[in-house]
Amino acid sequence: MTESLPINPHCLLKCFEFYYLLCITSLPDWNLINQQCIYECENEVVADFNEYCSDDNNENEDQCHSCKYQCQENCIDCLDELKIETCKFGFYLIDNKCLSICGDLIVASDEKCDDQNKEPFDGCFKCLYSCPLNCQGCIDGQCINCENGYFLENNKCQEQCGNGIKTQNEECDDGNLFIEDGCSEICQIEIFWKCINDQKERSWCFQIINPTVELQFLNTTFNKQFILITSSQQVRLTDNHHNLTQNLKTQIINVSRSDYIITFDVEAEPTFEEPNEIQYLFTIEYIKQLEVELIFHIQFNITLVNNYGLEILKKEYSIKLTNPIVLSKAQKDLSKNTGLF
């Protein structure tokens, strides 16, 4: 507010030009109105009475208004612009500033809410409204509806196992609560199973088993026998310094190696870099007629795993063979002479 003084004696002291004890012109920064000298507050000059500041404007909330100090924001009592005495309710005097403290359960004027915790999706986070997790729409921190696959309960979007929609904390959801089908009753992938999701987020599960090796006897042609060795799944080597061929050991059990010759053709072979099926065609050529029981034996001296890291557990395989007819040289000559060959 402005200060006014009577003409005698104060206005005389602020008068620049007189006429018979009447002030005609006032000094600078003073206005002469009805023989009263009224000081101009907004002139950046602090007068010597009842004026504490001057900032050359009439703006409010800039720490000086009508030449009086204003308290800082959220302050209700201050000695000057530098010294705060009392803050508004919900604010605390910290470093000569009135600041709110989020988490004190008091909703101050610069806060929307205060639930005294740091949980990010419970409707209030850092003293501002926030939508609960997996909520599609909310008003003032209260969820109105949840995303697909969730149901609303106590202002939280809860997962619903068994509805055929895989949600964030579910490993799978195959649309049922059965066990031993790959996805358990709590929507977790069961051991030795793998689950994938289609575009509708429904899980489809299939069983993962260890790969195996199969030996198959094909046929016998005179003194030769043919055996096919295959794997049930694609596998790869775990050692990049070797190959599979170098780590296969084959034999006819209890038969001298001088009595037979084993060769093979590689039709498919895994490596360390590239998984593949095992497919070997073995040929056993007998040198002489054998009357003992013939058992073909193969041993893998290297580790082989499938795409899920499951290992071929069995390292040795055997298959019983029939005894082929091996003609001696004399028998072959006789056969030729009789036209059998």
**pLDDT one-digit tens code per residue, 325-337:** 888 777 776 767 6
| More reliable by pLDDT, 132 or 69 | 132
User: What mean pLDDT comes out for the span 270-293?
Assistant: 95
One DSSP character per residue, 166-188 reads --TT-S---SS--SSSSB-TTS-
| Range from 50-64, 104-118, 129-143, 196-210 carrying the lowest mean pLDDT | 50-64
Q: Of 208, 243, 270, which one is at a domain's C-terminal end?
A: 208
User: 311 and 224 in one domain?
Assistant: yes
Give the 3-state secondary structure percentages of the chain, helix then strand then coil, rounded to 5.
5, 40, 55
User: What mean pLDDT comes out for the span 243-263?
Assistant: 95
The answer, yes or no, to whether residue 8 has pLDDT greater than 60, is no
**Token pair for 212:** 């195996």
User: Is 146 part of a structural domain of the chain?
Assistant: yes
CB 281 within 8 A of CB 268: no
User: 233 and 307 in one domain?
Assistant: yes
Task: Name residue 151's beta-bridge partners.
Answer: 158
User: Is 311 part of a structural domain of the chain?
Assistant: yes
Q: Would residue 50 be called left, alpha or beta, if left means φ above 0 and alpha means ψ between -120 and 50 degrees? A: left
Q: Distance between CA 1 and CA 292 in Å, rounded?
A: 126
Q: Of 159, 180, 199, which one is at a domain's C-terminal end?
A: 159
User: Is 154 part of a structural domain of the chain?
Assistant: yes
pLDDT at 5: 39
Domain count for the chain: 4
User: 308 and 230 in one domain?
Assistant: yes
User: Is 85 part of a structural domain of the chain?
Assistant: no
User: 49 and 137 in one domain?
Assistant: no
User: Is 182 part of a structural domain of the chain?
Assistant: yes
Query: What's 274's domain CATH number?
Result: 2.60.40
The answer, yes or no, to whether residue 50 has pLDDT greater than 60, is no
User: What mean pLDDT comes out for the span 129-142?
Assistant: 89
User: Is 247 part of a structural domain of the chain?
Assistant: yes
Element (H, E) at 331: helix 329-338
Report the first-to-last Cα separation within the chain, whole angstroms.
135
For 7, phi and psi rounded to 5 degrees? -65, -25
Q: Distance between CA 75 and CA 89 in Å, rounded?
A: 9
Q: Give the domain range for residue 194.
A: 163-208
User: 296 and 227 in one domain?
Assistant: yes
User: Is 245 part of a structural domain of the chain?
Assistant: yes
- With CA atoms as reference, report the closest residue to 199 among 134, 136, 148: 148
User: 171 and 149 in one domain?
Assistant: no
pLDDT at 63: 64
Q: Distance between CA 91 and CA 192 in Å, rounded?
A: 59
- With CA atoms as reference, report the closest residue to 56 among 41, 46, 43, 40: 43
Determine the residue type at 58: N
User: What mean pLDDT comes out for the span 89-116?
Assistant: 89
- pLDDT tens, position by position, 162-199: 999 988 889 999 999 999 999 999 999 998 898 988 65
| Range from 200-214, 230-244, 276-290, 306-320 carrying the lowest mean pLDDT | 200-214
User: 310 and 280 in one domain?
Assistant: yes
| More reliable by pLDDT, 338 or 266 | 266
User: Is 306 part of a structural domain of the chain?
Assistant: yes
CB 167 within 8 A of CB 134: yes
User: Could you tell me which residues come within 8 angstroms of residue 269 by beta carbon, excluding any fewer than 6 positions away?
Assistant: 243, 244, 245, 276, 278, 279, 280
